[in-house]
Copies of this chain bind each other. A is one copy, B any other.
Amino acid sequence: MDTRDTIADLRRLPHFRGLPDDLLEGVASASRSVRFDAGLTIFAEGDPVRGFWAVRSGMVKVYRLSIDGHEQVLHHLGQGRTFAEAAVLSMSHYPAHAVAVADTELIEIAAEPFLRLFRGEPRLAAAMVSALSNWLLDLTDRVENLSIASASVRLAHFLLRLPSRRADGVTVLELPFAKKELAAYVATTPETLSRLLRRWQEADVLRSAGRRLEILDERVLSAIADGGENAEVRRAGRAP
């Protein structure tokens, strides 16, 4: 891959949008393309910071591990997303783990050259500030979601925010990662996830086939996501 390609890729990132070519060339020369097969670790918590990454294709999971081995997902990152900027900008060690959950192609922007550039080029500062602010908003949303006690509400939220397309009168969406991952993301277990989907399916709220979901009744799903309790689909037998 040559520098021209890298520049084109970088330009698609919000960080570098609008910056002139000569500046980007400096960044590009500090970058390289790397492949990670599904399951491979990109960096581990505590590793010294080497650089930050942009996802060219595939999917990356950033997470922490608690002492008892439970995994806490911080983010899932698909095409076009970047991660670990904050680590490069102000930490010496990565504060979390990152792993490829699918075959993944990344651009690695090495820390040292990037930081030199950052210090010398005020235009980059604004861009990085904006990138960090976006992360903050993301995490804020995440905290908001996790603060909700009910797993069904969290799951409904997640599904409704997923990119979707309409076809044959129903909304079709594709889960961006395996159900196991999804369960971890909404902070529940695969079993609970499976049961929720089944319950909703039995209530004709949605249909689930592998990673493909069809939302049949968006109003009910929205109601679950909002109120939770009252709107929840009741199991079997209805009161007399």
Shortest distance between the CB of A223 and any CB in chain B (Å): 10
A125: chain B residues at CB < 8 Å are: 122, 125-126, 129
Question: By the criterion of a CB under 8 Å from any partner CB, how many residues of chain A are at the interface?
Answer: 41
Question: Interface code A111-148, partner B: CB below 8 Å = 1, 0 otherwise?
Answer: 00000000100100110111011111101101110111
A64 contacts chain B at the CB level, 8 A cutoff: yes
Given contacts A89-B133, A132-B133, A136-B132, contact A147 B187 (CB under 8 A): yes
A residues whose Cβ falls under 8 Å from a Cβ of B? 64, 66-68, 70, 72-74, 86, 89-91, 95-96, 119, 122, 125-126, 128-130, 132-137, 139-140, 142-144, 146-149, 187, 226-229
Please give me the 5 A-B residue pairs with the lowest Cβ-Cβ distance, nearest first. Answer: A125-B125, A146-B146, A139-B139, A72-B147, A132-B132
